[in-house]
Homo-oligomer: A and B are copies of this chain.
Amino acid sequence: MAPWGKRLAGVSGVLLDISGVLCDSGAGGGTAIAGSVEAVARLKRSRLKVRFCTNESQKSQAELVGQLRRLGFDISEGEVTAPAPAACQILKERGLRPYLLIHDGVRSEFDQIDTSNPNCVVIADAGESFSYQNMNNAFQVLMELENPVLISLGKGRYYKETSGLMLDVGPYMKALEYACGIKAEVVGKPSPEFFKSALQAIGVEAHQAVMIGDDIVGDVGGAQRCGMRALQVRTGKFRPSDEHHPEVKADGYVDNLAEAVDLLLQHADK
């Protein structure tokens, strides 16, 4: 067992990333990562509180949860913190009418949002919808505004599909930031507000919680900056160089979620 396992003492809540930890996304709903279905089940049978904390923004929450349930995971919509609902709340509070540069799969989450005469841009992991035409539309909306507002659902660099590494929303967010000379507001990991809302949902303090993710910067670095502990799994987008990242060091590295859960169940109560 990992000698650093004792760092997990006193953990009472666990935030789980989804893509790359539970499953690899891909055509037909993706595939479960070996051992992860059983690992989630064991976690949920323990006294630890569990919250799923994802930057998934290609699918509605209902579709995401449906796909995970079909893969065998014990998960319900009420257990997930995702960026689209958080963004909708911000849009309503601030009277913002977005141009939506998003994937069609997540469009239903914005059904209640006025998108006429846009006064901001919301960008998410749009996949094939990141056409030049759509990017230029978003750019032109921003350039017409006196105070351009760009809201980005996460800022991930890439993720892993069964077919290979795929560009995530972050590069496209950076493209619009540079084109317009502005800074985006990020809704999702690694935004501290986002981690805090996930912790609030399970009533756990940051110092009692651990984040488990495959993204050394967005998951591990983001959670640590909020005062949480964080483990990186060697699945999903993990690359060996992550263990020598110049800025972020995880509290521990595990082969997969199953190993993380073994260690948690052994050490968390101590």
Contacts and interface: CB of A to CB of B under 8 A. Distances in A.
Contact of A176 (B143, B168, B171): B171
Contact of A174 (B135, B143, B178): B178
A interface, by DSSP: helix, strand, loop or mixed? Answer: helix
Contacts of A177: 174
A157 B140 CA distance: 12
B179 A136 contact: no
Contact of A166 (B126, B136, B170, B180): B136
Interface string A146-188: 0000000000011000001111101110111111110000000
B179 A171 contact: yes
Contacts of A129: 132
A116 interface: no
Interface of A: 126-133, 135-136, 139-140, 143, 157-158, 164-168, 170-172, 174-181
